[in-house]
Amino acid sequence: MTEFISDALQNLATPMILFFVLGFISTIIKSDIEIPQAISKVLAIYFMIAIGFKGGVEISKTGIDDGLYDSVLNALIIGVTTPLIAFLILKYIGRIDNINCGAISAHYGSVSVVTFVTAISFLNSKSIEYNGYMAGMMALMESPAIFVSILLVRIFSSQKISTLKSNYVDLLKESLFNSSVVLLFGSLIIGMIVGGKGMSSVKPFLVDPFNGVLTLFLLDMGMIAGQRISEFKKVGLFLGTFALTMPIISAVGTVLLCDAFAFSVGDTLLFSVLAASSSYIAAPAAVRIALPQANPAYYITMSLAITFPFNIMFGIPLYYSIINYLS
Per-residue pLDDT in tens (0 to 9) along the chain, 327 residues? 667 777 777 777 788 888 988 998 998 898 988 888 888 888 888 887 887 888 788 778 767 777 788 999 999 999 999 999 999 999 999 999 999 999 999 999 989 888 998 999 899 989 999 987 888 888 788 778 888 888 888 888 765 554 544 456 666 666 667 666 788 778 888 988 998 888 889 989 988 888 888 888 889 888 888 887 777 777 789 999 999 999 999 999 999 999 999 999 999 999 999 999 998 777 787 787 778 888 888 888 899 889 999 999 999 999 999 999 887
pLDDT score at 230 = 75
Inside any domain, residue 57: yes
Helix (H, G, I), strand (E, B) or coil at 124: helix
Give the pTM.
0.81
Inside any domain, residue 287: yes
CA angle 247, 153, 91 (to 5 degrees): 55
How many Cα atoms within 13 Å fall on the side-chain side of residue 43?
Answer: 21
C-alpha to C-alpha distance for 50 and 38, rounded to whole angstroms: 18
Question: 138 burial class (0-12, 13-18, 19+ CB within 10 angstroms)?
Answer: buried
Inside any domain, residue 266: yes
Inside any domain, residue 58: yes
pLDDT score at 184 = 74
Inside any domain, residue 275: yes
Q: Which residues contact 325 (CB under 8 A, 6 or more apart)?
A: none
192 close to 135: Cβ distance less than 8 angstroms:
no
pLDDT score at 260 = 93
79 close to 140: Cβ distance less than 8 angstroms:
yes
C-alpha to C-alpha distance for 263 and 237, rounded to whole angstroms: 36
Q: How far is CA 288 from CA 168, 263, 280, 295, 312, in A?
A: 12, 36, 12, 10, 26
Q: How far is CA 260 from CA 71, 73, 102, 248, in A?
A: 12, 12, 29, 19
C-alpha to C-alpha distance for 150 and 136, rounded to whole angstroms: 24
Q: Find the distance separating the first CA and the last CA of the chain, reported in whole Å.
A: 15
Inside any domain, residue 327: no
C-alpha to C-alpha distance for 141 and 163, rounded to whole angstroms: 25
Inside any domain, residue 258: yes
79 close to 239: Cβ distance less than 8 angstroms:
no
Give residue 50's domain range: 32-207+236-295
Domain count for the chain:
1
Inside any domain, residue 8: no
Closest CA to 60 of 186, 205, 198, 261: 198
C-alpha to C-alpha distance for 281 and 231, rounded to whole angstroms: 18
Please tell me what DSSP assigns to residue 208.
T
